[in-house]
Amino acid sequence: MKWMFALVAVMGLAVSGCQSGGEGGLPPERSTSTVSGYSVDAIIRNGTIKVYGLNSDATKGEFLGSTTTDENGYYELSLRSASLPVLIEVTGGTYIEEASGKVITLATGDVLRAITFYESGEPLSVMVTPLTNLAAGFVVYKVGQGVNLNNAIVESSTAISSYVGFDILDTVPRDVTNPINYGYSLDDGMRYGLFTAAISSWTKHAGEENLQSPHTIYTSIRLASIMYDDISSDGLLDGKKVTGDDQNQSIAGLSYGAVPLGPNVYRSEFANHMLTVVSDTNINKTGLVLTDLLSDAQAIANSGHRMFTDVPPQPIDKDAPRISQIDPEGQWYSGAINYEVKVSDFVGVAEVTFDIDGEVIGLASDPSAPSVPIITDQYGDGEHYIGVRARDFMGNEAYQKLLVNFNSTGPVINVTVPKITNQTDYELAGTWEGFGVALDYLSVQDNQAVINSDGTWSATVELAPGSNVIPIETMDELGNKTEIESVVDLDQTPPAATVIYSNATYSLGGGETFIESLKFASDEIYPLYISTDKVKLNGLSLNTAVMFENGIPNIEYQVADPVVKGVATEPNDIYLEVRYSRGGNLLTDWRPAQRTLYPGNSHYMVALAEETLSEDWHITTPQETHLIELKVSDDAGNFRLESFNFRAEVYPAASDDSVTVSEQWPDLTETSFAQRGSLYGQSGVRLVDYQYQNNSPFDQFIQITDNSLHYVESTVEKAIRKHNARIVTAFDSKVVPYDRLEFVYGGDPAIACEQYHHTIVHASPHPNQQGLFMVTCDPGDEWGQTSTLTYGDYQEIESENLSPAENTEWVAGEEHEIIANKWYHRSRSWYESEPGYPKNVISEFTESASFDTADIQVFDEAGNARTAVSGWYKVMAGERVNVVKYVDTPILPQYSDVGVADLESFASYNYKTYDKSVSWELDGSLAISVIHGNSFNMLASMPRLALSGESGSITHTIAR
């Protein structure tokens, strides 16, 4: 179990590699190291290897490098990267199926993966095989369940390695078909090579079970993809694919055509085929034999790992050998013969014993091609039973009696043509053996047959509907006579295929769909709605519910042959074939349709999928007509033809999740306020980096549309010191008594003085006028002074010093006729500050500009620019491209009176301005149209899927 410790050690290295070092606290320069290994399913030649960093959610991260595998499947490339988990993928190239010798080209969507740890500066050797692909799927599941990525990698690799018994990442598989590996002991490299060869052997067997030529549809690389889906969906190798969440979960059975998958396919059947491979010298050139591998195969068959659920392991081979007759049942033999039978078994045949009528006559010298010598004249003429007992290496035993006829006294006649036909005049034919004596005659249905010198004969017979007993009689020149009967059935009624269930999704345009029978497609009013992730079965069980849940258009037929005159063909011998044309061109000639798992083998399913039609059936325009022809036939040669047409709108399997944002204009958030002006007037600013991931197994075309508008606004502060004041005006008046008051008065002078609030000082007759008095009054103090205030409006002044506005002297008022007191008035004006003034006042204004996106470019993972054709970029299957949005930034005025920032000490009565903030509002949206196809010529006709790349509104404010 050393491989378990090796994996843990690698994890430890990856973690320790994250530590920093170097002088001055700076990280050291990353070292270059080599990543190498072998890509095997079997040896994959000229495959494309790509290495990615792995994100914490087990999705592809940064593209790190790529290379190509050589003739030995070897790859090597140099990396310079930080220590991190890595994903290694192989696509394209070719390999040779070990079990059939067929050359397989990896199709679009065929991929093998490996996930491991890379330590910066350290060499890394890692294999990429179906088993590492399985472990990669396990990682995806575990991370989806919340397991830490590093732990998921270790746990997954350990689980798969424990299942097969060797380190799947580090062990180099040996090519067991290459004689150069002859003579090696059974080491881990041999075990690895025998396991991949066993997968080839099992898929060959599965193809034959589906009535297909070996490795035409059902290949090892296809099975690797199904196994990845199996384990990545639920963490189990249980032959089920789980989709959806806990609230809306769907479970679909997985199969290889009509062969269901499950825990014991991956255990006991794979183990069986390991033994099959090691026992087949046409495949195994290592010199190893079955007994060398038996304990390893048993360990795989008996694996109790929880990923196989609670399904108990099956014995490595619980089935007895299968015995079948090579010659037709009831064949006539005469003289010394070597009687041969066919015996097959998964683990190989250990021993075959023969008997005649219960009496043992010997062992087969070669159990893989068993035969026994028989001299027929030692037994009586007529029927005999040859018993065949076969035992495999696991001790399973089978016994079967096979009917033969011996004739030691006359010629032997055998019928070699089918004994069922639809021809009334039928040519019955066969062989004869006279054992050195010529035939005198041979009659069939009382008519002379044609006797040929090569030991064959023929005769035309007349058949009536139903079963016909045909008498055959011959006699040799010595008079020895032989009579036999042959039963020939005349069946002239073609079998029928009745639709049991059918459904398809049709497109109404604009994303609207409806579901109807697939036969409805022949009207060609509406095209089918096809998503590129639904163009292959990829191991889905041939079950109507599974087809419906997974959106695969299909028709299920039940075949039957009516009984006429007691003759009919059993459903198991009724065949449904499919022929497919597109646009008037035949793409796939008659190909057997696939039987469902319905009891009695009476049901066939025709699914619109690659396995039924052709590998590129989905490369089509909505205007193109597809023709499916169906032929149901029986062994008698009767057949019935049907057909239906359809059109299809094929949409790429993509969603908004296919578009992610990897980076946004870093300078925007890293620029200080002091450097804010550096963002103005820039050309070709890399605003947003999007990543578009083509997760479809097919090529796509994308077109980028951008109608976004961007804004920048600068908020500016304007400061000034203000002094508001108003004019205050006082109107003063006062009364001042004269020192002497003279007047003519006929009354009492004292009263006169008192009238004016004066004290009488002196009174005497007026010297000039008789009857008058002259009164002198003491004026006393000033009295009667009043002031009236008026106020002007507050006004701004540009000074802190307030001086009087205007003052006037006292001015005497007009004299009265009798002057007792003198009235004076004056006005006085001055400035009065508004409360709170002088003070510093600040205000704001804005400068703004809008601008469009300047350019959009597309780059591949290596940073090479892609060129658009008529506005469309091609994105290969599984490829990720970067879509970059560029802008040219406008220029705004920049204000830099820094004193505005300190209002406490600001003292200017002139306006000063200083930028307060610069706000950028950038539209991160992007519209992407996606088309499925492989040719630029098809773009104008193909339906488009509209996606949006949304980084949100990119807003950032730089403030002082």
Q: pLDDT tens digits for 627-639?
A: 999 999 999 999 9
Q: CA–CA separation, 528 vs 7, rounded Å?
A: 49
Instruction: Give the pLDDT confidence score for residue 518 in this predicted structure.
Output: 83
Give yes or no: residues 581 and 667 share one domain: no
Q: CA–CA separation, 626 vs 619, rounded Å?
A: 11
How many domains does the structure of the chain reveal?
5
> Looking at the domain assignment, is residue 689 inside a domain?
yes
Instruction: Give the CATH number, domain containing residue 364.
Output: 2.60.40.10
Give yes or no: residues 124 and 271 share one domain: yes
Average pLDDT over residues 842-864: 93
DSSP notation for 17-50: TT---SGGGPPPPPPEEEEEEEBBTTB-BSPEEE
Helix (H, G, I), strand (E, B), or coil: what is residue 647? coil
Of 130, 95, 126, 90, which Cα lies nearest the Cα of 111? 90
Q: For 474-502, how does the pLDDT look when each residue is reduced to its tens digit (9 = 90+)?
A: 998 888 889 999 999 999 999 999 999 89
pLDDT-derived band at 10 (thresholds 50, 70, 90) equals very low
Asked if residues 109 and 228 have their Cβ atoms less than 8 Å apart, the reply is no
State the pTM of this model: 0.71
Q: Which domain holds residue 554?
A: 496-651
Asked if residues 392 and 316 have their Cβ atoms less than 8 Å apart, the reply is no
Helix (H, G, I), strand (E, B), or coil: what is residue 144? helix
Residue 148 has pLDDT above 80, yes or no: yes
pLDDT-derived band at 17 (thresholds 50, 70, 90) equals very low
Q: For 750-759, how does the pLDDT look when each residue is reduced to its tens digit (9 = 90+)?
A: 555 555 545 5
Least confidently predicted of 117-121, 592-596, 811-815: 811-815
CB atoms within 10 A of CB 934: 17
Give yes or no: residues 336 and 416 share one domain: no
Q: For 928-960, how does the pLDDT look when each residue is reduced to its tens digit (9 = 90+)?
A: 999 998 778 888 888 888 888 776 688 999 998
The residues, any chain, with a CB within 8 Å of residue 680's CB and separated by 6 or more, are 889, 890, 891, 892, 894
Residue written as tokens 């040219």? 888
Helix or strand (DSSP H, E) at 305: none
Give yes or no: residues 696 and 665 share one domain: yes
Give yes or no: residues 287 and 337 share one domain: no
> Looking at the domain assignment, is residue 740 inside a domain?
no
Average pLDDT over residues 594-621: 88
CB atoms within 10 A of CB 456: 14
Instruction: Give the pLDDT confidence score for residue 813 in this predicted structure.
Output: 63
Average pLDDT over residues 500-515: 89
Instruction: Give the pLDDT confidence score for residue 933 in this predicted structure.
Output: 81
CB atoms within 10 A of CB 682: 14
Tokens coding 422: 């639809």
Spell out a b/e string for 141-166, using b for 16 or more CB atoms within 10 Å of the CB, else e.
Answer: bbbeeebebeebbbbbbbbbbbbbbb
Domain boundary among 381, 406, 431: 406
Asked if residues 881 and 873 have their Cβ atoms less than 8 Å apart, the reply is yes
Give yes or no: residues 477 and 549 share one domain: no
Q: CA–CA separation, 528 vs 530, rounded Å?
A: 6
Percentage above 90 pLDDT, the chain = 56
Q: CA–CA separation, 150 vs 143, rounded Å?
A: 9
Give yes or no: residues 176 and 88 share one domain: yes
Average pLDDT over residues 780-805: 68
Give yes or no: residues 154 and 223 share one domain: yes
> Looking at the domain assignment, is residue 49 inside a domain?
yes
Asked if residues 207 and 259 have their Cβ atoms less than 8 Å apart, the reply is no
Residue written as tokens 């300047």? 854
Instruction: Give the pLDDT confidence score for residue 575 in this predicted structure.
Output: 94
> Looking at the domain assignment, is residue 825 inside a domain?
no
Q: For 329-368, how does the pLDDT look when each residue is reduced to its tens digit (9 = 90+)?
A: 888 888 889 999 999 886 778 999 999 999 999 999 999 8
Give yes or no: residues 270 and 330 share one domain: no
Residue written as tokens 């004041």? 725
Q: CA–CA separation, 587 vs 866, rounded Å?
A: 33
Domain boundary among 377, 406, 435: 406
Give yes or no: residues 619 and 633 share one domain: yes
Instruction: Give the pLDDT confidence score for residue 6 in this predicted structure.
Output: 37
Give yes or no: residues 151 and 235 share one domain: yes
The torsion of the CA quartet 593, 598, 603, 607, rounded to 10 degrees, works out to -50
Q: CA–CA separation, 958 vs 953, rounded Å?
A: 16
Instruction: Give the pLDDT confidence score for residue 750 in this predicted structure.
Output: 54
Domain boundary among 390, 406, 422: 406
Order the strands of the 397-406 sheet from edge to edge. Answer: 332-333, 397-406, 382-392, 349-356, 359-363
> Looking at the domain assignment, is residue 781 inside a domain?
no
Q: For 41-78, how does the pLDDT look when each residue is reduced to its tens digit (9 = 90+)?
A: 989 999 999 999 999 999 998 899 999 999 999 999 99
CA distances 24 to 20, 28, 120, 642, 942, Å, are: 11, 10, 21, 81, 59
Residue 11 has pLDDT above 60, yes or no: no
Asked if residues 677 and 669 have their Cβ atoms less than 8 Å apart, the reply is no
Asked if residues 648 and 618 have their Cβ atoms less than 8 Å apart, the reply is yes
> Looking at the domain assignment, is residue 310 inside a domain?
no
> Looking at the domain assignment, is residue 729 inside a domain?
no
The torsion of the CA quartet 751, 754, 758, 759, rounded to 10 degrees, works out to 60
Average pLDDT over residues 181-193: 94
Q: Is the peptide bond before 838 cis (omega within 30 degrees of 0)?
A: yes
Asked if residues 443 and 449 have their Cβ atoms less than 8 Å apart, the reply is yes
Beta bridge partner(s), residue 846: 715
> Looking at the domain assignment, is residue 758 inside a domain?
no
Residue 620 has pLDDT above 50, yes or no: yes
Instruction: Give the pLDDT confidence score for residue 31 in this predicted structure.
Output: 78
Tokens coding 338: 């070597």
Instruction: Give the pLDDT confidence score for residue 695 in this predicted structure.
Output: 85
Q: For 663-675, how does the pLDDT look when each residue is reduced to its tens digit (9 = 90+)?
A: 788 888 899 999 9
Residue 323 has pLDDT above 80, yes or no: yes
What phi and psi values does residue 634 have, to the nearest 5 degrees? -125, 180
Of 276, 272, 264, 376, which Cα lies nearest the Cα of 312? 264
Give yes or no: residues 530 and 427 share one domain: no
Residue 748 has pLDDT above 60, yes or no: no
Burial of 701 (0-12, 13-18, 19+ CB in 10 A): buried
Q: CA–CA separation, 463 vs 603, rounded Å?
A: 31
Tokens coding 557: 């037929």
Instruction: Give the pLDDT confidence score for residue 885 in this predicted structure.
Output: 92
Average pLDDT over residues 567-591: 94
Asked if residues 112 and 88 have their Cβ atoms less than 8 Å apart, the reply is no
The residues, any chain, with a CB within 8 Å of residue 396's CB and separated by 6 or more, are 317, 318, 319, 320, 321, 345
Q: For 364-382, how does the pLDDT look when each residue is reduced to its tens digit (9 = 90+)?
A: 999 989 999 999 989 988 8
Q: Which residue has the higher pLDDT, 456 or 908?
A: 456
Amino acid of residue 709: L
Helix (H, G, I), strand (E, B), or coil: what is residue 926? strand
Residue 23 has pLDDT above 60, yes or no: no
Asked if residues 65 and 34 have their Cβ atoms less than 8 Å apart, the reply is no
Mean model confidence pLDDT for the chain = 86
Q: Which residue has the higher pLDDT, 26 or 165?
A: 165
Average pLDDT over residues 813-830: 64
CA distances 670 to 667, 676, 954, Å, are: 5, 10, 14
Residue 306 has pLDDT above 50, yes or no: yes
